[in-house]
Amino acid sequence: MNASAPLRADEPGPAAQDASATAPAGTCTVQTISTEEEFSQHTSNLPPSCLTVIYFHAPWAEPCKQMNTILSTLASTYASTTPPKIGFYSIDAEELSDISERYDVTQVPFVALQKDGKVLETITGTDASKVRNAVEKHAGRPSAGDPGKLGLPPAQKVTKAAPSQPLNDPSSKPETNGSSNLSKYAPEAGDPATAPQYSSGEVNPATKDELNTRLSELVKAAPVMLFMKGTPSAPQCGFSRQTVSLLRDKGVRYGFFNILADDEVRQGLKEYSDWPTFPQVYVSGELVGGLDIVSGSSSLWPMLVRCTDWFSAVEGGVR
């Protein structure tokens, strides 16, 4: 699926629509969660019988705009009670990637229903009837409004949903670029660098042509290159951590670049690759994609094995 606008990966994206302004008094609204601490506080204070509807979204994913409306409307049909019987929460899947990882979120929109900390059901895509049916199955029919009169389809009716959008895939590039579980070789401290070392504090900023030249060298610095937040031994986001883990599990050797240490590369690579999120994986200088692409297919494994053999054969390669 193509997204209508690229993700500004370094800026917090807009949360799901806040229904508090339009929801009837005394009804539920979708509450935006901004931090992991806030999420823990909200969920830990809920009674075991309360159904928690957790909605994961991304600002660049067009289907999430539709799901924002669906959940805001559905929430407004349930009465706000004390103690609560149901709660709706919205989470930016990339900003709070550790929570996303906990719920195995790899595409958005993604809705998880849970009680007493146990996930009962998950829904991907934007099928309003499917979401309504799942919520009513676990929370009962709403008492504060008629979902049908508010535009939601009947719970028993199944309509064709808009497809969900893979995380880290705002442009939904064709699979001809490859997809693969890139496994997890973690370079050790004594390993030689596989890419030139640069600092974002250089006095003279590179021109665009110079930056593109530098980036073209970086993506080819090793047969498999991982541009990540942090390092393999200390990943700084959940998606980078999962990518490193996949690479290690499959025994794929790779070079890496910590984009948090060089903002010029961090910003420039988004335009260079037309891929605005991280991590990014390259094979022989060609972009494979992010975590969702890497973990979703094994079509590149023969090439990755050859890349691993290349590392072993070349003196000074990653060991």
Contact 246, 184 (CB under 8 A): yes
Residue 11 belongs to a domain: no
Residues 160, 214 within the same domain: no
Residue 3 belongs to a domain: no
CB under 8 Å to 241, separation ≥6 — which residues?
101, 235
Domain span at 254: 175-313
Residues 180, 160 within the same domain: no
Residue 8 belongs to a domain: no
Helix-helix angle 62-75:128-139, to 10 degrees: 40
Q: How confident is the model at residue 191 (pLDDT cuts 50, 70, 90)?
A: low
pLDDT, tens digit, 9 for 90 and up, residues 248-284:
887 788 888 988 888 888 889 988 988 888 899 998 8
Residue 111 belongs to a domain: yes
Best CA proximity match to 169, nearest among 157, 179, 161, 154 = 179
Alpha-carbon distance of 253 to 170, in angstroms, equals 27
Question: What per-residue confidence (pLDDT) applies to 201?
Answer: 42
- Could you tell me what percent of the chain has a pLDDT over 90? 25
Answer with the residue of higher pLDDT: 146 or 99. 99
For residues 232-259, give the mean pLDDT: 85
Residues 241, 197 within the same domain: yes
Instruction: Identify the domain boundary among 166, 188, 212.
Output: 166
Residues 143, 261 within the same domain: no
Answer with the residue of higher pLDDT: 13 or 56. 56
State CA 246 to chain mean position distance: 16
- 29 pLDDT above the threshold of 90: yes
Residue 70 belongs to a domain: yes
Question: What per-residue confidence (pLDDT) applies to 306?
Answer: 63
Residues 145, 32 within the same domain: yes
- 167 pLDDT above the threshold of 80: no
Question: What per-residue confidence (pLDDT) applies to 297?
Answer: 64
Take residue 219 and report the two structure tokens written for it: 């993506």
Contact 90, 30 (CB under 8 A): yes
- 177 pLDDT above the threshold of 80: no
Residues 244, 275 within the same domain: yes
Residue 48 belongs to a domain: yes
Question: What per-residue confidence (pLDDT) applies to 187?
Answer: 56
- The reported pTM is 0.51
Instruction: Identify the domain boundary among 149, 166, 183.
Output: 166
The CATH number for 200's domain is: 3.40.30.10
